[in-house]
Chain A
Amino acid sequence: MASTSKNIPSTANPENVTDDIEPGACTDSILNPTDSFEEFASEMSSSLEERNTLAAKSSTISEIQSEIGESSKETLRETKSSDNLQSKDDSISGSASSSNLTEQNGEDTECERDEYLRSPELVNKEKHVFILSSAGKPIYSRYGNEDKLAGLCGVIQALVSVVEEQNQDILRSISTKDCKAIFLVKGPLILVAVSKSNESETQLVLQLTYAFNQIVSVLTLTQLNRIFEQRRNYDLRRLLSGAERLIDHLLIFMEKDPAFLLGAVRCLPLPEKARENITNAITSTCSKIRDLVFAILIAGNQLITLVRMKKYTLHPSDIHLLFNLVRSSESFKTAESWTPICLPKFDATGFLHGHVSYISEDCQACLLLLTVQRDAFFPLSQAKHTIAEKLRRSNCLVAINDALNRNKELPTTNPLKHIGIPEIRHFMYKCKSTAQLFTSDPISLDRLQDYRLRHKEGGDITEKKIEKLSDIDYVRNYRKFCSQIHCSSTPAKLIFRSNSENTVLAWVTNGFELYVTFDALMEKDHAIRAVDRLLHWIKKEEERIFIMHAPTF
C-alpha cells in the first residue's frame, strides 16, 4: 500500500466549515452508482471454483424481450451460430488463418524468443498487458507481436496453473523492486499487467477487468465460454479481429481519464434548458418504439443525455465501453452503423443491437440507440433523423458545439478562473449518488489525441522535465490518495498532504469524493476554507455540470 510518512490521514473533519452540501446529488439516477471498488473486493474474495466457472447470471435481455412480447428466438439463433463456428473451423483450417502463424513460431528456438523479450519493442515500457487463453495461447499483447510471445505466455500459464493445482491457491501478484505483475483469471482467459507505474494493485486489477469486459462486449460471455468449452486450444484472435484496437485505446483511456479511477461518468456541461430540450427531442421521438432499451447521446467521452426503459439503469463501466467504442471507431463518422453490442454489466449473456451515428456533419455528438430487436435498423434510422432535425431546430446543436469547443463565455470552460480561488491548481469531484464526475480541466480531446500519438510511438518511460502540469499529471498524482481512500482495511476519510511541490487534499463523505491540488505549503485551515467555497460553486452550477434527471421512455 502506498503510504508515505508525509501523508497525514486526519480525523479532524472539515464539516464544521462546510454545511452539509452534496453538489449534484439526486435521488433518481440514470447510472447505477455501485462502486467499482466493490467489484474488486468481490474479485479478491472469490474462491477458485467460483472464478473458474464464470456463471452467467439470468439474462436481462430475455427478460425485456418477454416483457414486450418478443419470443426468445434470439437465443435460439445464437446457439445455432456457435455450431457454425465449429464447422467453420474445420473448413477454413487450410487457408491462411493466423493459427498457421503460431505453428511457424512454435519452431523458434528458445534463444530467439528470449532475444525478442529484450527487443526495444518490449523493454522499458511503463505498463504491459498480456491476455492469453487458459491453455496458454497468446490473444493480446499491448506492445510487440503476440505471436512471438508464445514462450512468455507458456510461462505465465504454467505459473498460474502451478499455484492453482499444487497449492490450491490463486496467484494474484508478483512484486520486484520496481515492478509488479498482476494476474487475473477470468473464465477461460488469463490477464496479466506488468507495471512500473504508481497504480495500485486494485487499480491494475480494475484495468484488467475492463480489458476482459471489452472482450465480452464484442463476443458475449456465453459465446466466450462456449468457444473454449468446445475447443480449449482455440485461437481467439480470429474472432477478435479489430477488437485489439479497442483494447489498445481502452488502456490509454484508463491511464488518462479519472472517470475510470473513480468509477464515474463525465457529463458534457450544458445549460439546463438545452439538456432538457435534447432529452425531450429523444423521448418524444422514441416513446413509441417498444424495443428500445437505451438512447444515449455522447460527445468527446462525455455524456449529454441518457434515456432508458423504466427499471433499467446503466453501469458506468458499460458506458465507458461505449465511449471507448465510439472514440476508437472512425467508421461511425461516415455512415449509420448497426452493430451487436454486449454490455457486460447490463447483460453479459447476450447482445443488444445498436444504431450508432453522429448527429450531423457539423456536430460531433454521437447517438446510440440500443434495442433488443435485431431487425429494428430502419425505424431507428428514421428516429435518428427526426431527433437530429429537432435538435437543429431548437438550437441544441449550437449549445453542444459551444460546450465541445470550450467556448470562453461558459463558466464550465475554465472553472478555476471562474471560481476565483487562485491557490487551487486542479480538482476533481465525484457525486456518489449519481456516479457523475466533474474536473477543473476536462481532458481536452486534442491533448488526449496527442498523448495517443506519442503513446503509439512507444509508450516508453521517459524522464522528461514537465514545465506545466496537465490534468493527466494531476490525475496520476491522485492515484495513491484514491487508493488510500478506497483501502478496504483502513480507509481514510480525509487526507491532507502538503510539501514544497504542492498540497493535496482528498476527502470522501457519504455524498461525494473530492480531490484538490493547491499551491505548495498550504495551511490546512486555509485549504478547508477554499474547499468550502469550491463546493458552493459546484452546487451553484450543478444543473449545468450534472445530469440531474433520470428520464425514461
Chain B
Amino acid sequence: MSRCDFKIVLLGSEHVGKTSLVLRFVNCRFNSGTPYQNTIGAAFCAKRMQSNGKDFNVGIWDTAGSERYEAMTRMYYRGAHAAIICYEASSQASWTRLRHWLQELRTVEEDCKVYLCCTKKDLLDSGAAQREVDEEIVATYSQGLRGHFLTSSKTGENVDELFQKIVDDCVADMRVMKGVEEARVQLQKEDAAYRAKHKDYCFC
C-alpha cells in the first residue's frame, strides 16, 4: 500500500540530530527553543522531490536510536533504498555506535545505499563544540560508501544537498528504478480494482 517511491531510513545514536534533520528537510524548520525530546518509536514523513525532471515521493523513517527499540529497528531498514547514518563529530560514542549500524545494514540490507552524516556543523564552525572524531578515520570509512555530508539543521546547510544526492543516486540506479516502476504499475492496478469495486461510493 506504500505510495512512496523511495524509502530512506535515518540511523544513529540518540541526540545526534536525526529528528532535526528530517524536520529541517521536510518542514524547513528548526526548533531551538524547545528542550530535547527523544523520538518515541519511529516517525514517518513523506516529501515530493524532483530528479532528472521527474517527480518522486520519498518516504523517510526517523528512528529513535535508543537501545530500547533496537529489536524493532530492523523493520525500518528492511527494504530501504538508502540509509543516512548520523553521528556528531564532538561525540566519539556516537561514532562508535555508527559502526554498529553499518554492520547491521551490511548483513540485513546489503543493497541499501549508505550515506554518512556529520550533524550540527554550526556548532563546530562556531567553536561551541570540539571535534573528537578523527577526520581521517571518517574519510577512510566513507570510501566504501555513497557519500559523507557535513550538515547543520539549524542553518540548513547541506541538508537539501544530502537528500537530493540520495534521490539522484536512486534515479541513476537501473535496478532501483525498475522496482519503482513495477510498484507504480501495481499500485495503479490496485487503485483501479478498488475503484471498480466501490463505484457506488464517491470519494470527492
> Taking the complex as formed, is A337 at the interface, i.e. its CB lies under 8 A from any CB of chain B?
yes
Residue of B nearest to A239 (CB): B68
> Taking the complex as formed, is A382 at the interface, i.e. its CB lies under 8 A from any CB of chain B?
yes
Contacts of B34 in A (CB 8 A): 330
Residue of B nearest to A241 (CB): B66
Q: Which residues of chain B in 39-81 are interfacial with respect to chain A, using CB atoms and an 8 Å cutoff?
A: 39-45, 62, 64, 66-72, 75
- The reply to whether A77 and B71 form a contact with Cβ atoms under 8 Å apart is yes
Kindly state the separation between the CA atoms of A84 and B97 in the bound complex, as whole angstroms: 15
Interface segment, one of B19-27, B115-123, B149-157: B19-27
Kindly state the separation between the CA atoms of A329 and B62 in the bound complex, as whole angstroms: 15
Number of interchain pairs (Cβ within 8 Å): 90
Q: Which residues of chain A in 217-262 are interfacial with respect to chain B, using CB atoms and an 8 Å cutoff?
A: 218-219, 238-243, 245
- The reply to whether B1 and A238 form a contact with Cβ atoms under 8 Å apart is no
- The reply to whether A337 and B93 form a contact with Cβ atoms under 8 Å apart is no
Interface segment, one of A120-128, A179-187, A371-379: A371-379
- The reply to whether A334 and B44 form a contact with Cβ atoms under 8 Å apart is no
Contacts of B70 in A (CB 8 A): 81, 84, 88
> Taking the complex as formed, is A116 at the interface, i.e. its CB lies under 8 A from any CB of chain B?
no
| Contact of A329 with B37 at beta-carbon distance under 8 Å, contacts A335-B22, A378-B1 already known | yes
Q: How far does the Cβ of A237 sit from chain B's closest Cβ, in whole Å?
A: 10
- The reply to whether B38 and A84 form a contact with Cβ atoms under 8 Å apart is no
Q: How far does the Cβ of A520 sit from chain B's closest Cβ, in whole Å?
A: 43
Contacts of B72 in A (CB 8 A): 340, 374
> What count of chain B residues pass the 8 Å CB interface test?
32
- The reply to whether A88 and B42 form a contact with Cβ atoms under 8 Å apart is no
Contacts of A218 in B (CB 8 A): 68
> Taking the complex as formed, is B2 at the interface, i.e. its CB lies under 8 A from any CB of chain A?
yes
Kindly state the separation between the CA atoms of A495 and B44 in the bound complex, as whole angstroms: 53
Q: How far does the Cβ of A273 sit from chain B's closest Cβ, in whole Å?
A: 22
> Taking the complex as formed, is A78 at the interface, i.e. its CB lies under 8 A from any CB of chain B?
yes
> Taking the complex as formed, is A280 at the interface, i.e. its CB lies under 8 A from any CB of chain B?
no
Residue of B nearest to A218 (CB): B68
Taking a contact as CB atoms closer than 8 A, the residue among A78, A238, A377 that contacts B71 in the complex is A78
Residue of B nearest to A334 (CB): B23
Kindly state the separation between the CA atoms of A356 and B39 in the bound complex, as whole angstroms: 12
Contacts of B186 in A (CB 8 A): none
- The reply to whether B96 and A95 form a contact with Cβ atoms under 8 Å apart is yes
> Taking the complex as formed, is A336 at the interface, i.e. its CB lies under 8 A from any CB of chain B?
yes
> Taking the complex as formed, is B14 at the interface, i.e. its CB lies under 8 A from any CB of chain A?
yes
Kindly state the separation between the CA atoms of A338 and B19 in the bound complex, as whole angstroms: 14
| Contact of A325 with B40 at beta-carbon distance under 8 Å, contacts A77-B71, A84-B70 already known | yes
Kindly state the separation between the CA atoms of A242 and B35 in the bound complex, as whole angstroms: 12
- The reply to whether A88 and B45 form a contact with Cβ atoms under 8 Å apart is no
Kindly state the separation between the CA atoms of A218 and B67 in the bound complex, as whole angstroms: 12
Q: Which residues of chain B in 65-116 are interfacial with respect to chain A, using CB atoms and an 8 Å cutoff?
A: 66-72, 75, 92-93, 96-97
Kindly state the separation between the CA atoms of A326 and B44 in the bound complex, as whole angstroms: 17
Kindly state the separation between the CA atoms of A96 and B14 in the bound complex, as whole angstroms: 13
- The reply to whether B62 and A241 form a contact with Cβ atoms under 8 Å apart is no
- The reply to whether B67 and A379 form a contact with Cβ atoms under 8 Å apart is no
Kindly state the separation between the CA atoms of A334 and B60 in the bound complex, as whole angstroms: 13
Taking a contact as CB atoms closer than 8 A, the residue among A238, A331, A375, A378 that contacts B40 in the complex is A331
- The reply to whether A331 and B45 form a contact with Cβ atoms under 8 Å apart is no
Kindly state the separation between the CA atoms of A470 and B101 in the bound complex, as whole angstroms: 51
> Taking the complex as formed, is A381 at the interface, i.e. its CB lies under 8 A from any CB of chain B?
yes
- The reply to whether A245 and B37 form a contact with Cβ atoms under 8 Å apart is yes
Residue of A nearest to B62 (CB): A335
Taking a contact as CB atoms closer than 8 A, the residue among B23, B38, B42, B45 that contacts A242 in the complex is B38
Contacts of A77 in B (CB 8 A): 71
- The reply to whether A381 and B44 form a contact with Cβ atoms under 8 Å apart is yes
- The reply to whether A337 and B1 form a contact with Cβ atoms under 8 Å apart is no
Residue of A nearest to B38 (CB): A242
Q: How far does the Cβ of A393 sit from chain B's closest Cβ, in whole Å?
A: 10
Most buried by A among B38, B64, B71: B71
Kindly state the separation between the CA atoms of A294 and B62 in the bound complex, as whole angstroms: 25
- The reply to whether A96 and B23 form a contact with Cβ atoms under 8 Å apart is no
B residues engaging A (CB < 8 A)?
1-2, 14, 19, 22-23, 26-27, 34, 37-45, 62, 64, 66-72, 75, 92-93, 96-97
Nearest 6 Cβ contacts at the A-B interface: A339-B41, A81-B71, A242-B38, A335-B43, A378-B1, A96-B93
A residues engaging B (CB < 8 A)?
77-78, 80-81, 84-85, 88, 95-96, 218-219, 238-243, 245, 325, 329-332, 334-340, 354, 356, 374-375, 377-379, 381-382
A-B contact sample (14 more), CB < 8 A, given A335-B44, A338-B43: A78-B71, A88-B67, A95-B97, A238-B67, A239-B66, A241-B66, A242-B64, A245-B38, A331-B39, A334-B27, A337-B41, A337-B43, A339-B69, A378-B2
Q: List 8 A-B contacts (CB under 8 A).
A: A81-B70, A81-B71, A95-B97, A241-B38, A242-B37, A245-B37, A338-B44, A374-B72
